[in-house]
Chain A
Amino acid sequence: MQAWWLVPFCKTLHYFGIAFLVGVVGLVDLRIFGVAKGLPLRPLQRLMPWAVVSFLLAAVSGYALLRINPSTALGPPVNLAFAAKMLCLALIGLNDVLYLATGLKRQVDGVGAGEHASASAKIVAGVSMLLWVGVVFWSRMLTFLAGAI
């Protein structure tokens, strides 16, 4: 028998990771959209390593939750919500790789206080926000859809 607090403890760590991660990513994406325009983007994007650490916390605690109760997320029958969540995360990874590889991040670094970000930066930020909302949506549906499909 596992301790009663193990699952809520892992869920708490999972939420801590996601909250800080989505906090950093959300502030960067919103700034690209023109919210808090007085902020230069370079020092804001310098916070991204914190988001990576938060992601690792969320990933490790999420993996622990998966190991504790594999059937909730994995089925059988296949839990489509979990698959959709993983797909959203993979697309976020792809979006981030393209953001770095195309040099768009460097271009956004040059956006100073009071300046507009480019349309392509806004597209990447919009995709990022939609996908993160998708991750949270499918996470929430995960327990409700477990065994339902």
Chain B
Amino acid sequence: MHIIEILQQWTENNAFFIWLRESPSIWAFPTVYFLHTIGLIFTAGASLVIDARLLGAGKKLPVAPLAGYFRAIWIGFWLTAISGAVMVGSDLETKLTNRLFPIKMVLVAIAVALMIVLRRRMGASEEWRAVPLSTRMLAAASLVCWLSAVAAGRFMAYF
């Protein structure tokens, strides 16, 4: 059987997903949606601020200690990813046939990969006199990916 069909059957019969789809309570679907929103706002927002710093905003702010935020950013990321997976699971059909959904997933994957690379580079930033051009380009790419991912998420409901 196709993997999607197996998933579909599982989410259709799973008590948690049935409750999520059918409960009118604000502690059901609306709360999952809230956790996704708060997680993505912090993950994308904190990453955008780090990108802005690497692109030249707030030049007096030392770069290396900014890496101290990455643990909080990862917590935000997993909160977004898990609540997002639950949202997809509760509505497999609509999400998987949405043209913007795979684009959004690719954008998020690239954005996360870029943050991992940027974090590694920021660790060696004490030797920088200015942010190297290649790092600035990666930060610009990260900024574009995060903003596009957020836009794709907003437009998904209208496609």
Q: Hey, which bits of chain A sit against chain B, CB under 8 A?
A: 4-5, 7-8, 11-12, 15-16, 18-24, 26-27, 30, 35-40, 42-44, 46-47, 50, 113, 133, 136-137, 139-141, 144-145
Q: Which of B26, B40, B41, B147 has the most CB of A within 10 A?
A: B41
B154 contacts which chain A residues (CB < 8 A)?
8, 11-12, 15
* Given A50-B57, A144-B30, 12 new contacts (CB under 8 A): A5-B158, A8-B158, A15-B153, A16-B147, A22-B45, A36-B65, A37-B65, A39-B62, A42-B60, A43-B62, A47-B57, A140-B30
CB distance from A74 to the nearest CB of B (A): 19
Give bound CA distance, A114 to B60, whole Å.
Answer: 16
Interface of B is mostly: helix
Query: Does B150 make an interface contact (CB < 8 A)?
Result: yes
Instruction: Find residues 47-78 in chain B having any chain A CB closer than 8 Å to their own CB.
Output: 47-49, 52, 57-58, 60-62, 64-69, 71-72
Give bound CA distance, A43 to B30, whole Å.
Answer: 38
Inter-chain contact B34/A136, CB cutoff 8 Å: yes
Given contacts A22-B45, A47-B61, A136-B37, contact A12 B151 (CB under 8 A): yes
Subset of 16 A-B contacts with CB under 8 Å:
A5-B155, A8-B158, A11-B154, A12-B150, A12-B155, A15-B150, A15-B151, A15-B153, A19-B44, A20-B45, A23-B49, A35-B69, A36-B67, A47-B58, A133-B38, A141-B26
CB distance from A99 to the nearest CB of B (A): 19
B29 contacts which chain A residues (CB < 8 A)?
144
Q: Hey, which bits of chain B sit against chain A, CB under 8 A?
A: 26, 29-30, 33-34, 37-38, 40-42, 44-49, 52, 57-58, 60-62, 64-69, 71-72, 146-147, 150-151, 153-155, 157-158
B157 contacts which chain A residues (CB < 8 A)?
8
